[in-house]
Amino acid sequence: MIGADVMVETLVRSGISVCFANPGTSEIHATVALERNSGMRPVLTLFEAVATGAADGYARMTGSPAAVLLHQGPGLANGLTNIHNATKARSPIVNIVGGHTRDHQLYDTPLKANIAGIAGTVCSWVREVKNPENMARDAAEAAAAANGPPGQVATLVVPSDCSWMEAGEPAGPLSACVRSDVSQDLVEAAAKALTCGEPAALFVGGTVLLDQSLALAGRIARSTGARLFGAGFFARLQRGAGRLNLERLPYFPEDAEAAVASLRQAVMVGCTEPVTFFAYPNSSGLVLAKECTRTVLAGPDANVAAALAALSDALETTDDLAVLDLPLPEEPTGNLTAEKAAAIIALNLPEGTIVSEEGITAGFECFNKTMGSAPHDWLFITGGGLGQGLTAATGAAIACPDRKVLCLHGDGGAMYTCQALWTQARENLDVTTVIFANRSYAILEVELQRLGLNHLSSELASLVSIDDPTLDFVKLAESMGVEAMRAKTAEEFRDQFCNCMKRDGPQLIEAIL
Amino acid sequence: MIGADVMVETLVRSGISVCFANPGTSEIHATVALERNSGMRPVLTLFEAVATGAADGYARMTGSPAAVLLHQGPGLANGLTNIHNATKARSPIVNIVGGHTRDHQLYDTPLKANIAGIAGTVCSWVREVKNPENMARDAAEAAAAANGPPGQVATLVVPSDCSWMEAGEPAGPLSACVRSDVSQDLVEAAAKALTCGEPAALFVGGTVLLDQSLALAGRIARSTGARLFGAGFFARLQRGAGRLNLERLPYFPEDAEAAVASLRQAVMVGCTEPVTFFAYPNSSGLVLAKECTRTVLAGPDANVAAALAALSDALETTDDLAVLDLPLPEEPTGNLTAEKAAAIIALNLPEGTIVSEEGITAGFECFNKTMGSAPHDWLFITGGGLGQGLTAATGAAIACPDRKVLCLHGDGGAMYTCQALWTQARENLDVTTVIFANRSYAILEVELQRLGLNHLSSELASLVSIDDPTLDFVKLAESMGVEAMRAKTAEEFRDQFCNCMKRDGPQLIEAIL
């Protein structure tokens, strides 16, 4: 078997069945191998960030890695931002990057680049295949490394001659590593923190945001009177009617600090201490008060489910099924605003929807309004690299073909990875994208106001405006084969949104705000 | 003066007057400073690869750096492929990347990334501003480093607190370094190689491809009987009627090796020995025969103009103005093909046009057919990272507002940086883009044929096809404010092309092949 076939079959045996691909000449044998192996579904993308972002979305929904196939240094570089986002999400991904033959790496060719070096800036597991005989072992170890703990992006650089040469037999799957358990001392310290009588909060992140663990976290919070916060920029949260409603820290430092100023005990499970997204003059970056005692029961990489169970046992919590009465917004009318669009989404969200949200300024409204919507999953931008929303939605739809995917996206951010729409059309994915068209980098307008610049010169205003020329997302979507429509009023948006929720297939609504 | 103002003013004093920007919150002070300084023109882009690629195109046409302003690790990552291309082109660029405050870098924030590490994989000059007082010096040294020799991308990482804090006074420009001269021994060796009576060729690259040096290279070739080759993937070539016509090596190894098999002496000026783009089974990667003696008179970073003059002196060449009679193609009719489109372009290319070409399979036709067109500049993809053509065209148009820019682009590659069209519309740049819509990654189809796969399964064919769904470049261009049209016949294409050449402003023709 040649190396490319060994690699693909080893990945299939390791449980990987989807490969998001953007191949070039160095990956031609891998491309043929993808097609030849019935256990692997190749999904073509027009841009590498779509491939890496889709693999991230896929991993968040399945907990398992997809493969990615990229072309040399430039292909890796184009996919790097969403690898950064995936790394922050702790998403398992096997990232295959084709390279020159081992001999050709000696020459100063146009594509010559430090592929492993580029990968190493973001991935902690990087390996270059040194000879074809290593291919099976290297592919199997890449899959095992991706599965963690923690889940991570494992990058395997494959010289093209190692793909086309005879390479022996594929390898079977390697057994997964186990997460480390937390000590009983830490459990008791956390229990004491929550019951010592001081104002306390439980901060949860990672897999604690998923159904069973989240319910247990809620039980702990209710039995101790602690407040319950979700970690800031989460990979996946299960929420909606009948589920626990977490507090979320405000974005700006002064608001976040005020929200937790009274706390004197903070216990972290599945996350570390909250910090602000950015630092500002006169903000320290930390959110909790100096007087607040921090107890990290389990970081994101530890066995958080066991830690939570141990904490619950130590606290002797009882199964007090709280009746949750989460509010829904009023039905809005008139000219469309972000708030009204969010209300319509909240009132009409189908049960089981996967929401991939990168609304930035509009996103907060959507998150707040949907707390009482039908149960759903919420995927968030984890690493601050824009354009993650459209691509994660694409991968989530591949992962969960029976569920509706709703992508809520700012217009500025959507332009970073608009090519995702083509893959959605090509694969006929059931994704509805809502573009919040405020026609500006609205977050930068807010930041300028925070600098005291309330009256911007037209030149300065133009540097944060993307309205000259006006982007036409209906034409943009149609150019890539996605049906699209535009809403200017709440009534139009409701009709279009409800139709999209009823029908299958890729659709886009440009919501003019 | 705060750091951001010091930085911008120092860059202005260093001769930089354009900044291609895609700022975020960490660069908010730099954004204000860009607007506040009348010596700097900010050009907004919707995606970082547009900013870096435009700076590359700008540098190729002016020989001087533009600045780029990017946001944190993800912004740098998105711009990295075109930094790789620019590095291969030896384009001077000052690449400013905003980062967290020095304190905030301690925390595990979503954007935390190894910014300098990412830059260091592609740039050999990288510096992080350590405190505001260093800003003036660091910005001045970045500009000097960019100017080389060789021209390069100098990356300056600017923590946001160094932007907003008091930072003293701007610095003046630093004097440029000089290129090293080549030794007289080398000159004599090169002269001997060209006159020893064995079949010889002169390979030229870098600035030897520009007018004066190119004429001198031609004189040397004619006076010695040597063949004259242009280096493979050049940054900028001045060519057309009345100018020298260089040979160019074929793309595939067997063709390239055959083209130079008889050579026994090769002299390189402004480039190194030719190598193939990729290696294949049974190809060595090198092109010249083993028996051929290589003499590198001057690599790309040496003083190539002086080296060429010294070689000409040693050879005692005379000013024999050769009458060049370069052919033009016939006027084509009927269904459009790449060859016919190339002929129409060749027959109707306005004098002084800047051609930014990333046609891949269609590009070779265009290059060959235009050898006798009105004098023009040709910019090529230097580093193999796709999407360079649209972005370099954008920067070239900013650099040379009085010249027509023609971007010739494959459809697959154009999807990597389609956001460049928006900046072209925003700045009303005189760029006509021709998309060669063969609706496939045609180079991969060729590679599959080379593997002996002439009859592709429909599944395999679909992995190199981008026709499901069909991309609509007319709608895509219109979505970003660029007027667009579609041609299916030679007659339609000629009418549209000639109209575009007569009118100003951004336009796009989708040529259906």
The alpha carbon of residue A68 is apart from the nearest alpha carbon of chain B, in Å, by 14
The alpha carbon of residue B329 is apart from the nearest alpha carbon of chain A, in Å, by 31
What integer is the mean pLDDT of A249-265?
Answer: 96
pLDDT tens digit sequence for A159-186: 999 999 999 999 999 987 888 889 999 9
Residue B31, phi then psi, degrees to nearest 5: -65, -45
Longest Cα pair distance anywhere in chain B, in angstroms?
69
Assessment of whether the complete model's pTM goes beyond 0.95: yes
What integer is the mean pLDDT of B219-227?
Answer: 95
A78/B74 touch (CB, cutoff 8 Å), yes or no:
no
A422/B35 touch (CB, cutoff 8 Å), yes or no:
no
Nearest to A110 among B74, B277, B448 (CB): B277
Banded pLDDT at A386 (limits 50, 70, 90): very high
**Cα A399-A400-A404 angle, rounded to 5 deg:** 135
pLDDT at position B323 is: 60
pLDDT at position A301 is: 86
Chain B contact set for A418 (CB, 8 A): 418-419
Nearest to B478 among A459, A466, A472 (CB): A472
Banded pLDDT at A323 (limits 50, 70, 90): low
pLDDT tens digit sequence for A437-458: 999 888 898 999 888 887 788 8
What integer is the mean pLDDT of A354-373?
Answer: 94
The alpha carbon of residue A393 is apart from the nearest alpha carbon of chain B, in Å, by 19
pLDDT at position B138 is: 98
pLDDT tens digit sequence for B301-318: 889 999 999 999 999 998
B275/A47 touch (CB, cutoff 8 Å), yes or no:
no
What integer is the mean pLDDT of A423-427?
Answer: 98
The alpha carbon of residue B462 is apart from the nearest alpha carbon of chain A, in Å, by 9
Banded pLDDT at B333 (limits 50, 70, 90): very high
B111/A384 touch (CB, cutoff 8 Å), yes or no:
yes
The alpha carbon of residue B46 is apart from the nearest alpha carbon of chain A, in Å, by 7
What number of C-beta contacts closer than 8 Å exist between A and B?
A: 275
pLDDT tens digit sequence for B460-486: 888 889 999 999 999 999 999 999 999
What integer is the mean pLDDT of A406-411?
Answer: 97
pLDDT at position A150 is: 84
A406-410, B34-38, B210-214: segment of lowest average pLDDT? B210-214
Structure-token pair, residue A418: 């608009």
Tell me: pLDDT of B454 over 80.
no
Written as one string, the DSSP assignment of A321-335 is --------PPPP-SB
pLDDT tens digit sequence for B103-141: 999 999 999 999 999 999 999 999 999 999 999 999 999
Q: Count the Cβ atoms, other than its own, within 10 Å of residue A185.
A: 8
Nearest to A77 among B80, B161, B277 (CB): B80
A161/B281 touch (CB, cutoff 8 Å), yes or no:
yes
Chain A contact set for B21 (CB, 8 A): 463
The alpha carbon of residue A462 is apart from the nearest alpha carbon of chain B, in Å, by 9
What integer is the mean pLDDT of A295-321?
Answer: 91
A293-302, A323-332, B159-168: segment of lowest average pLDDT? A323-332
pLDDT at position B322 is: 66
Q: Listing from the earlier edge strand, what are the strands of the sheet with B41-44?
A: B41-44, B18-21, B66-71, B93-99, B153-159, B125-128
pLDDT at position A161 is: 97
A107/B471 touch (CB, cutoff 8 Å), yes or no:
no
A38-42, A250-254, B226-230, B448-452: segment of lowest average pLDDT? B448-452
Name the helix (H) or strand (E) containing B490: helix B490-502
pLDDT at position B451 is: 87
User: B168: closest CA among B125, B139, B142?
Assistant: B139
B232/A281 touch (CB, cutoff 8 Å), yes or no:
no
Banded pLDDT at A322 (limits 50, 70, 90): low
- For chain A, how big is the Rg over CA atoms in Å? 24
Name the helix (H) or strand (E) containing B478: helix B473-479
pLDDT at position A300 is: 87
B72/A384 touch (CB, cutoff 8 Å), yes or no:
yes
Nearest to A101 among B24, B279, B286 (CB): B279
pLDDT at position A463 is: 87
Mean pLDDT of chain B: 95
Tell me: pLDDT of A321 over 70.
no
- Cα dihedral A217, A219, A220, A221 in deg (nearest 10): 90
What integer is the mean pLDDT of A147-170?
Answer: 96
Mutate to test the interface with A, among B36, B470, B479 (most CBs of A within 10 A): B479
Nearest to B78 among A34, A416, A422 (CB): A416
Beta bridge partners of A353: none
Nearest to A415 among B31, B46, B448 (CB): B46
Matching residue, tokens 């970081």: A299
Tell me: pLDDT of A412 over 90.
yes
What integer is the mean pLDDT of A195-212?
Answer: 95
Mean pLDDT of chain A: 95
A118/B80 touch (CB, cutoff 8 Å), yes or no:
yes
pLDDT tens digit sequence for B41-75: 999 999 999 999 999 999 999 999 999 999 999 99
pLDDT at position B502 is: 98
B275/A31 touch (CB, cutoff 8 Å), yes or no:
no
B32/A460 touch (CB, cutoff 8 Å), yes or no:
yes
Nearest to B475 among A73, A469, A475 (CB): A475
Closest chain A residue to B449 measured between Cα atoms? A28
Chain A contact set for B26 (CB, 8 A): 278
Chain A contact set for B481 (CB, 8 A): 469-471
Angle formed by the axes of helices A3-13 and A28-36, nearest 10° = 50
| Calpha distance A8→A58 (Å, rounded) | 18
Q: Count the Cβ atoms, other than its own, within 10 Å of residue B77.
A: 30
User: B351: closest CA among B425, B230, B242?
Assistant: B242
